[in-house]
Chains A and B, each alone.
Chain A
Amino acid sequence: GAGVSQSPRYKVAKRGQDVALRCDPISGHVSLFWYQQALGQGPEFLTYFQNEAQLDKSGLPSDRFFAERPEGSVSTLKIQRTQQEDSAVYLCASSPAGAAAEQYFGPGTRLTVT
């Protein structure tokens, strides 16, 4: 497919478990973003990659959150020791390059921590 894909689409985790969320960006897109979206809110920035370099991780809410993009393509967002407040939709977006570029979003992964 030509769009951004994310897996899994839904994830239920027990409190304290680790989870890994995957993002496949559009081929050739240099920039990759992770956002967190709570119910009824707009997406909130978590972290940004340019190729394999993580240039901004200022939005990660705690050191339990970790993201990587080792080969400049697929990215994984990992959350360790999940808490109930981590329950949200996690959105991945990619863009061709540079600022002022539109972002292409995946469908998101809905994480529920019980």
Chain B
Amino acid sequence: SQKIEQNSEALNIQEGKTATLTCNYTNYSPAYLQWYRQDPGRGPVFLLLIRENEKEKRKERLKVTFDTTLKQSLFHITASQPADSATYLCALALNSGYALNFGKGTSLLVTP
């Protein structure tokens, strides 16, 4: 069956460091992968989309890599700030190509 796995443990890092979150998947051949941020009591917010023919994508302090051989995406936040504390969700398209299958998310806590 199709599975998406994200770091199960919460990630605690110090302000200013780089946070790296992992998303591994099995039984998928995704055309693209998305990352979302979710704060408590709110819906997910879209951050980045990376396509299968893109190795890396950047947006401000965010960087995503996509390795279709390893079946893995890495999500980096450089120069992390306490405001980056949230849950980060990895998502792949379901068979329909439209709806998304989400991982459980990784909770990130950035301390001053």
Contacts and interface: CB of A to CB of B under 8 A. Distances in A.
B98 A102 contact: no
B49 interface: yes
A93 B43 contact: yes
Contact of B101 (A45, A99, A107): A45
Interface in B25-50: 31-32, 34, 41-46, 49
A104 B44 CA distance: 8
A7 interface: no
Given A40-B104, A42-B104, A104 B46 contact: yes
A107 B42 contact: yes
Contact of A103 (B32, B46, B96): B46
Interface residues of A, number: 27
A42, A98, A99, A108 pick with most chain B CB within 10 angstroms: A42
Contacts of B105: 41-42
Contacts of A55: 96, 98
A93 B31 CA distance: 21
A17 B64 CA distance: 45
B23 to A, nearest CB: 11
B43 A99 contact: no
Contacts of A42: 4, 89, 91, 102-105
A32 B46 CA distance: 15
Contacts of B76: none
Given A42-B89, A100-B51, A107-B42, 18 more contacts: A4-B43, A33-B99, A33-B100, A41-B105, A42-B91, A42-B104, A42-B105, A43-B89, A48-B98, A55-B98, A56-B94, A56-B99, A59-B99, A99-B93, A99-B97, A100-B31, A100-B93, A103-B46
